[in-house]
Amino acid sequence: MSDENRDHPEDEFRDMLRQFLSGNSDIDPSKLASAAGLPSDPAAVSQLMAQLQNAMQASGDGVDWSVATKQAQEISAAGSLAVTDQTKAQLDQALHIATLWLDEVTGLSDSAVAPRLMTRQEWATTTVPVWTQLAEPVAESIADALTDVLQNQAPEEMAGMIAGASQLMRNLGGTLFAMQLGQIVGQLSKEVVSGGDVGIPLLEEGQAALVPQNMAEFGEGLDIPDDEVQLYLAIRELAHARLFRHARWLRLHVISSITEFAKGISIDTERLEELAGSFDPSNPEELKQAMASGALIPPKTEQQQHALARLETTLALIEGWVDTVTAQASVRLPRWNSVAETVRRRRASGGPAESAFGALIGLELRPRRLREAAALWQQVTDAVGQEQRDALWSHPDLVPTMADIDDPAAFIARLQAGEPEPDEMDQALEDLLREEETRGDEQPPVV
């Protein structure tokens, strides 16, 4: 070792990594890619090596989320079809009818923002910023854990080398995580039929979006006319957008709840140390299984369990309200119930990409109590009408709780007896938000 390298041991470590990334190593990069849950074909491995080399040159600390964006865009672009004029005309008609039918069953106003028809790549590009926001706390925990484990597992003669290269390892770990997330978002773009399909608010308030290519695949094999499937899915998406436009507090509440939950996640460093100590580069299946199953994320704490229960309740109430309103607006469709049941089964099972996201940040996207929440909203509608039902979304203190889902009769009795109004400060804030919303809607278009 030269005197210069002894003075800067992190440079020696950097040189070792550079040799590996250049292919001058006994370790097979394709097997490491597979262990990380990434494709192991030559093109994908080459891209992985290039991204890791870029991470080595990065001077900043933290995750380079542009890697996730690029990965998602490339995966979603493969097989992505443009929206034809014929498809656009059909879906514009479906959205128009859906708007009229929703007006009959809910007083929540239509969005001033026109619905979008997205390709798979457009959906991935538009939503990846929210995915990265949700995943960032876990990425930071993984980077911290990886650095700690390397320092603890390194032989004594390499301790100085590892200690001086902690930022480098954080950048490399963050890049791997970002590529995994991009892989998941890219795969999701081939499954989702709309902006609100996964249950969390990925688009801005009031923005509705449909993915025509995936809608067509969704309808295959159902033996239901395409126009009925399109109309039902359009009603669902517009109902979802109306809710988030009306309840201006709701989107921030859901996203902040998810990120707060994710911030409480720590990585099981003991398990990671076991993997590091026994890792065989020629057989990386143990590492792959640990990452894919979420085994590196310890069991949830009691505090996290409570936070997760509250979040799942909110997501179930959102989806339950959408289901109820969609069912009411779809009664003219002969086979609406068959489409609805397909949506319910699909939601319950999720897909491979959703499972991967759940393993990555320890959170399932699909609410478990959806049917009970939908039953609650239907009973509320029958008891007090749609206007009072929808007014419950005007303030977070009015929204039903988990206890209300358990005992709908008691909740309805309180509604019929008259619920207390939000306090003056809360009401003033709500009035201010509505005033800003109205003023924004009235602004003339820019010529």
- Is 293 contained in some domain? yes
Query: Tens of pLDDT along 12-57?
Result: 555 555 555 555 555 566 655 555 556 666 766 666 666 666 655 5
* 293-297, long-range: CB < 8 A, 24+ apart: 293/359, 294/358, 294/359, 294/360, 294/362, 295/268, 295/271, 296/142, 296/145, 296/267, 296/268, 296/271, 296/272, 297/138, 297/265, 297/266, 297/267, 297/268, 297/362
Sign of CA dihedral 296, 301, 307, 309: positive
Q: Rounded to whole angstroms, how far apart are CA atoms 136 and 140?
A: 6
Q: SS3 of 257, please? A: helix
In this prediction, residues 411-424 reach a mean pLDDT of 75
- Is 203 contained in some domain? yes
Contact 63, 178 (CB under 8 A): yes
Residue 15 confidence (pLDDT):
58
Percent with pLDDT over 90 in the chain: 42
Query: Tens of pLDDT along 348-390?
Result: 777 666 776 776 677 776 667 889 999 999 999 999 999 999 9
Query: Tens of pLDDT along 79-118?
Result: 999 999 999 999 999 999 999 999 999 999 987 789 999 9
Containing structural domain, residue 87 = 65-372
Give the Cβ contact number of residue 381 at 10 Å. Answer: 20
- Is 132 contained in some domain? yes
- Is 440 contained in some domain? no
Q: SS3 of 107, please? A: coil
Contact 321, 378 (CB under 8 A): no
Contact 321, 242 (CB under 8 A): no
Encoded tokens for 41: 């074909």
- Is 47 contained in some domain? no
Q: Which residues contact 28 (CB under 8 A, 6 or more apart)?
A: 281, 282
Give the burial string for 332-353 (b: 16+ CB within 10 Å, else e).
Answer: ebeebebbbebbeeebeebbeb
Q: SS3 of 117, please? A: strand
Binned at pLDDT 50, 70 and 90, residue 221 comes out as confident
Residue 296 confidence (pLDDT):
60
Average pLDDT, the chain: 78
Closest CA to 183 of 274, 69, 283, 41: 69
Query: Tens of pLDDT along 315-358?
Result: 999 999 999 999 999 999 999 999 999 998 888 777 666 776 77
- Is 340 contained in some domain? yes
Question: Burial level of 20, CB count in 10 A (0-12/13-18/19+)?
Answer: middle
Q: Count up the domains in the chain and report the number.
A: 1
- Is 75 contained in some domain? yes
- Is 14 contained in some domain? no
Closest CA to 230 of 43, 109, 131, 89: 89
Binned at pLDDT 50, 70 and 90, residue 438 comes out as low
Would you say residue 282 has pLDDT above 60?
A: no
